[in-house]
Structure 1
Amino acid sequence: MTEAAFIDIDWAGRPVRIEYQWIARDRAAAPLIVFLHEGLGSVAMWKDFPQRLCIATGCRGLVYSRPGYGRSTPRAAEEAWGLDFMHRQAQEVLPALLEALGIDATRDKPWLLGHSDGASIALLYAASYPQRIAGAIVLAPHILVEDLSVSSIEKVRAAYLETDLRQRLARHHDDPDSAFWGWNDIWLKPAFRHWSIEAEISAIRCPLLAVQGLDDEYGTLAQIHGIARRAAQTELFELADCGHSPHRDQPERLITAITAFIQQQPHGDKP
């Protein structure tokens, strides 16, 4: 894995610095997996999972921190995310990043692997750009807001205010307040209770693997079952003894399942 690097993109008329990291970039003929982190994630918080998966699949990897996270440009203190913040990441930030890095997604169609909010962003990208994606793997995705999700996010808010959570997040984010409050505030807005991407999912045409831990404190099986009802090609993978982060709780089983899924697709075993 290479060291993290930075590139500027134009987003909403202003330059934004994006932290990113390549895995096996010299493997030019191999499929590309783009990793999209969770609501409090970053390049660093994936740890070694992207590298392990790329070794197992023979793929290249691109890991990045969204604006407001990791070492990317922090969210301004007065900047509040809108109800469409995941749509904007899928339809504005990710395409701009791919273009800035010289990735022509119409020819070099990436696989997207997203976790939590990142999984929802992957679904939205797949629905918006069906000709620019090879397939998607979504871990603990959100397609609607459940009471369980809100309850758990309220508990995390209390932990951020009352425990050392802020200090722990500061190891991975230049501005932990930017990362935390951008995510937490929008999820706890009353209007966000009505957020849903169920209608968009019906437009997804690419291969899709949806993964849910059976002990997930942020979502239930209703999330991935809802995806399968709207995108018939979806393969479901339900993991016992697994919470909200399958790549941390059950990495070996997850890597085996993803490797098999990618390699069963046309050209998925391309070296």
Structure 2
Amino acid sequence: MDVTTSEETVFIQTSKLYYKKWSVENPRKTIVLLHDSLGCTVLWREWPEELAMALNCNVISYDRRGYGKSENYTIKRPIDYLEQEAVILNDLLQYWQVEQPVLFGFSDGASVATIYAGMYPQNTTLLIVEGVHVRIEKETLQGVREAEEMLHNTQIAKALQKYHGDKVYDLYYAWTKTWLSNAHQSWNIEHFIPRITVPILVIQGELDEFGSMNQVNAFDNASGVVQKCIVSGAKHTAHKEEKAFVFSTITQFVNTHIHEKMD
């Protein structure tokens, strides 16, 4: 199967955003990838092309405000900044003329995908979340503190400059300072979950350092079918640590539920 790629920047609301698309002939659906708190499109590596080929779907990944090849974003993040990102995602989908996508979000991207599926249930086909945050836990805060220590004690900033350029410190502190602030401790998006009517796949590493099983079990309140996948021995980045297993689980989930909808 041939996969063609294209990339573009588009001005949405107040920011110039970068995205890349992997296209196939006669796609069944479009899968939208939403990256984590330190990620971007490039860091999905081979996942977009392989998903496009395995599922005969178009795949789109974009860099959120301040990340990757998108414009820097230095405004202090409000408590509802991920909700704002869900609205931006809706604007992007309208620009792309994509209806009812399959959403696959990782970490912060999983939170954005969850919010979106709750805000716009009629415009979502399937929801896949990995390492999702729906509430603040002690594990979440400890994981963020350790990430902040890594910034000062390792070469991670230099490594990330390859992907984010001179925006690294801005995005790193925007993430850690926001989540560790007193104002952010009341953050919770669980109220979006009962509004989600589509099938959901929740993936979490058994040893995820950013959240407990409470994050996964919160999806028991969804209105749609929920499938849970706990990846043995994996930490937060299960799709990298146990790629073959996670990839197979995702493709089976999508094939099953798209087939059911087509029937």
* TM-score over 0.5 (shorter chain): yes
Is the contact made by 2:198 and 2:223 (CA closer than 8 Å) also made in structure 1? no
CA deviation string 1:131-156 (max 9, x = no partner): 11101100010110110111111111
Is 1:56 equivalent to 2:54 in the alignment? Answer: yes
Letter in 1 for 2:9: I
Cross-structure match for 2:185: 193
Is 1:22 equivalent to 2:21 in the alignment? Answer: yes
Letter in 2 for 1:22: K
Residues 133 and 232 from structure 1, CA distance in 2 versus in 1: closer, same or farther, beyond 3 angstroms?
Answer: closer
Is the contact made by 2:202 and 2:228 (CA closer than 8 Å) also made in structure 1? yes
Task: Give the 3-state SS of the residue equivalent to 1:186 in structure 2.
Answer: helix
> Which of 30, 42, 45 is 2:43 aligned to?
45
**Structure 1 range deviating more: 210-219 or 171-180:** 171-180
> Which of 143, 149, 157 is 2:134 aligned to?
143
Is 1:233 equivalent to 2:208 in the alignment? Answer: no
Distance 2:256 2:174 in 1: 38
Task: Give the 3-state SS of the residue equivalent to 1:211 in structure 2.
Answer: strand
Cross-structure match for 1:126: 117
Distance 1:7 1:55 in 2: 24
Is the contact made by 2:196 and 2:224 (CA closer than 8 Å) also made in structure 1? no
Q: For residues 175-194 of structure 1, what are the structure 2 equivalents within 5 Å?
A: 175-194=167-186
Distance 2:135 2:223 in 1: 16
Is the contact made by 1:20 and 1:63 (CA closer than 8 Å) also made in structure 2? yes
Q: Point out 4+ residue stretches in structure 1 off by more than 4 angstroms.
A: 1-4
Residues 269 and 263 from structure 1, CA distance in 2 versus in 1: closer, same or farther, beyond 3 angstroms?
Answer: farther
Cross-structure match for 2:11: 9
Residues 229 and 163 from structure 1, CA distance in 2 versus in 1: closer, same or farther, beyond 3 angstroms?
Answer: same
Residues 7 and 117 from structure 1, CA distance in 2 versus in 1: closer, same or farther, beyond 3 angstroms?
Answer: same
Cross-structure match for 1:97: 92
Q: How far 1:214 moved relative to its partner?
A: 0.3
Of structures 1 and 2, the one scoring higher in RCO (CA 8 A, sep 6+) is 1
Distance 1:159 1:39 in 2: 14
Task: Give the 3-state SS of the residue equivalent to 2:11 in structure 1.
Answer: strand
Task: Give the 3-state SS of the residue equivalent to 1:114 in structure 2.
Answer: strand
> How many pairs are equivalent?
259
Is 1:86 equivalent to 2:104 in the alignment? Answer: no
Q: How far 1:27 moved relative to its partner?
A: 2.5
Residues 223 and 267 from structure 1, CA distance in 2 versus in 1: closer, same or farther, beyond 3 angstroms?
Answer: same
Task: Give the 3-state SS of the residue equivalent to 2:164 in structure 1.
Answer: coil
Residues 167 and 266 from structure 1, CA distance in 2 versus in 1: closer, same or farther, beyond 3 angstroms?
Answer: closer
Q: How far 1:26 moved relative to its partner?
A: 3.8
Cross-structure match for 1:250: 242
Distance 1:3 1:54 in 2: 11
Cross-structure match for 1:219: 211
> Which of 16, 34, 37 is 1:36 aligned to?
34
Identity %: 26
Cross-structure match for 1:71: 69
Is the contact made by 2:41 and 2:68 (CA closer than 8 Å) also made in structure 1? yes
Is the contact made by 1:2 and 1:21 (CA closer than 8 Å) also made in structure 2? no
- Name the one with the larger helix percent: 2
Long gaps (5+) in structure 2 = none
Is 1:117 equivalent to 2:96 in the alignment? Answer: no
Q: How far 1:3 moved relative to its partner?
A: 5.5
Task: Give the 3-state SS of the residue equivalent to 2:118 in structure 1.
Answer: helix
Task: Give the 3-state SS of the residue equivalent to 2:122 in structure 1.
Answer: coil
